Structure 1
Amino acid sequence: MTTTRPIELTEAQQGVLAAQLIDPSSAAFTVGEAVVLEAGPGTDLDDERLRAAIARACAEATGMWLDLSGDPTGTAAALRSPSAEGVAVGLIDLSDRADPDAAAEEYLAAAMAQPFDLGGFPLYEQTVLRLGPRRRTWLFRAHHVILDGYAIHQVIRRTLALYASTDQAPEDVGWAHPDEVVAEQRRYLGSAAFERDRAAWAERLAGEPTPSRLLGSAVPGGPAVRCRAESRVDGPSVDAAAAALDATWADLAMAATVLHLARHQPASGDGPADVVLGVPS
């Protein structure tokens, strides 16, 4: 039985909703990952086991169960009771296509270009594309109002751990409940620490240039521009470098973005130009 109860949104969620409502047809707030899975030689991937792992990981991520169908503006936001049985995981067999990889790319591009209907539920989609006995592409897309990039990766990691586990009930990642997140935000916004932080950043950024962009100017409400680049990195080396700097791999990726932008920024009379990144909260 599905139950719902009212829930308060964070300021970040309210901001995402306000931006989406400017142009409900825009897919700019559709986020996601395509996870390529390949079994070892002589083994096949188990579709039902994978779909069950995806469903359970989604059920554990309470924030994914946000329901805005009562009012897409968020004033009547509700949280549905999570249930693995309530997670639909599609399975599309592309293995008989002449080029399964090309067919998968076409499907992914079309799916990521589709906006979510804020009046619908759920605000995520899970689809497994079968490319052959040993190969799958798992598409995990969602509206940014329920997940950010970090949370998506947490769900992916949890899914893969569940798929690989021989334990029927491996320990979960301990997701914070949305109520806890809202309460923590309320405490921070009402604290002296918030006022100090705001003053410090206002002083630090005074007179700085506008944030740099990878793709030039952006038009509010315009079509999303998506880029793709592939490269291979040594995961353990990246983790070790991040640990040595007391950082995460995401921090290293942001630093690499700054270095890339700096190479293409015109130098000022005093030397290399400053690079400012605008990072959504």
Structure 2
Amino acid sequence: MLNADIRLPLLAAQREIWFAEQQLGHGNSVYQVGEYLDLRGTFDAQLFEAALRAVVADLDTVHSRFHQESGTDDGTVGQTVDKSRSWTLRMVDLAGAADPQAEAEAWMTAELNRPTDLASGALFHFALLRLGPERHLWYQNYHHIAMDAHGAALVSRRVAEVYTALCEGRDPGPSPFSSLRELADEDAAYRDSPEFHRDRAFWLDQLDSRRPEPSPLIGRTRGGTADFRRATRWLSEDAFEAVRETARTGRVPWPVVVMAAAALHVQRLTGEEKVLLAFPRPTAPESQSAS
């Protein structure tokens, strides 16, 4: 646990989210991220909560408190880690509902639309929704300043590891997650390195005179809203295997192929010669952080 008197700077990705949310104003839920895992079969809720609490205790970023640095007028924001606050794993029993799945999704959507106060609010919420004797949904909700999708996947994997170890009566081993201090030091070291200046020079050159203007697919949108629309389509096994084969041929991860396809789709819809896409970046190294 970090000493509450030790103040650390925001990581690069955290700063972007902080200032973007200040522009949107309080009361928005744009940067709330959530997911659920469908847990089927014999399940020990008490051991699961013990595993979850053990993992959360090792995560610095979800315990951050943000504050304006005193004596500054340039918008400088710092953070401290406060693990003293209690939190609850909510238990929701929907097994008696006419449609437990629909009830669960409605409940989770309502929770996801609740805004977070970055100055004093909790940056994470968990719930265990019981849909039947051998079916539970584990709901995770984070503010994006504390967690991204990749980090959430690492948390889920670690909870599964600890839960399995507890079930088998063995030690789960040391936590794989870095402290916030280590992440801040890595962030600062990169920005002071020759690599950072090379990267910066490269992208300034790429985006200076050759950067295309963004070509939106829809008209101007409001600054923030909790009313999202999404459409889902599933790839067939053959189609997904074609994506993976293309990735193997190009010697890249398969998500790169999907991003390239998205760029081509936008280019065809807009008719522009070049298109500019923006993608979120991890807030910490993949190998050791859940931030």
Contact 1:27–1:113 (Cα < 8 Å) also in 2: yes
Identity %: 26
RMSD: 3.3
Q: 1:105 to 1:160 in 2, by over 3 A?
A: same
Question: 1:264 aligned to 263, 269, 273, which one?
Answer: 269
Question: 2:50 aligned to 52, 71, 75, which one?
Answer: 52
Choose between structure 1 and 2 for higher RCO, CA contacts under 8 A separated by at least 6 residues. Answer: 2
d(CA) in 2 for partners of 1:260, 1:211: 14
d(CA) in 1 for partners of 2:223, 2:49: 37
Contact 1:65–1:81 (Cα < 8 Å) also in 2: yes
Q: Which stretch of structure 1 is more off in the superposition, 254-263 or 22-31? A: 254-263
d(CA) in 2 for partners of 1:169, 1:2: 24
Contact 1:116–1:123 (Cα < 8 Å) also in 2: yes
Q: Deviations over 1:67-110 (max 9, x none)?
A: 23798x87452112489xx4421111011111101101111111
In structure 1, the partner of 2:178 is: 176
Contact 1:242–1:252 (Cα < 8 Å) also in 2: yes
d(CA) in 2 for partners of 1:249, 1:61: 29
SS of 2:120's partner is coil
Contact 2:32–2:115 (Cα < 8 Å) also in 1: yes
Q: Deviations over 1:1-21 (max 9, x none)?
A: 996342321232122112212
d(CA) in 2 for partners of 1:253, 1:67: 36
Q: 1:190 to 1:3 in 2, by over 3 A?
A: closer
Question: 2:204 aligned to 175, 195, 202, which one?
Answer: 202
Q: 1:171 to 1:45 in 2, by over 3 A?
A: same
Contact 2:10–2:79 (Cα < 8 Å) also in 1: yes
In structure 1, the partner of 2:189 is: 187
d(CA) in 2 for partners of 1:216, 1:167: 57
Contact 2:9–2:184 (Cα < 8 Å) also in 1: yes
d(CA) in 2 for partners of 1:92, 1:70: 37
Contact 2:34–2:139 (Cα < 8 Å) also in 1: yes
Query: What count of residue pairs does the alignment treat as equivalent?
Result: 268
Contact 1:69–1:121 (Cα < 8 Å) also in 2: no
Contact 1:130–1:136 (Cα < 8 Å) also in 2: yes
Contact 2:217–2:270 (Cα < 8 Å) also in 1: no
Pairwise CA distance, 1:209: 2.2
SS of 1:77's partner is strand
Q: 1:131 to 1:119 in 2, by over 3 A?
A: same
Q: Which amino acid aligns with 2:186?
A: E
SS of 1:15's partner is helix
Q: Which amino acid aligns with 1:19?
A: A
TM-score by structure 1 length? 0.80
Matching of residues 111-150 of structure 1 within 5 Å: 111-150=111-150
SS of 2:115's partner is coil
Contact 1:129–1:137 (Cα < 8 Å) also in 2: yes
Matching of residues 52-131 of structure 1 within 5 Å: 52-68=50-66, 75=77, 77-81=79-83, 86-131=86-131
In structure 2, the partner of 1:38 is: 40
Long gaps (5+) in structure 1? none
SS of 2:9's partner is coil
d(CA) in 2 for partners of 1:274, 1:167: 57
TM-score by structure 2 length? 0.77
In structure 2, the partner of 1:11 is: 12
Q: 1:226 to 1:159 in 2, by over 3 A?
A: farther
SS of 1:122's partner is coil
SS of 2:91's partner is strand
Q: Deviations over 1:235-263 (max 9, x none)?
A: x9688986776644544543443344345
SS of 1:219's partner is coil
Q: Which amino acid aligns with 1:210?
A: E
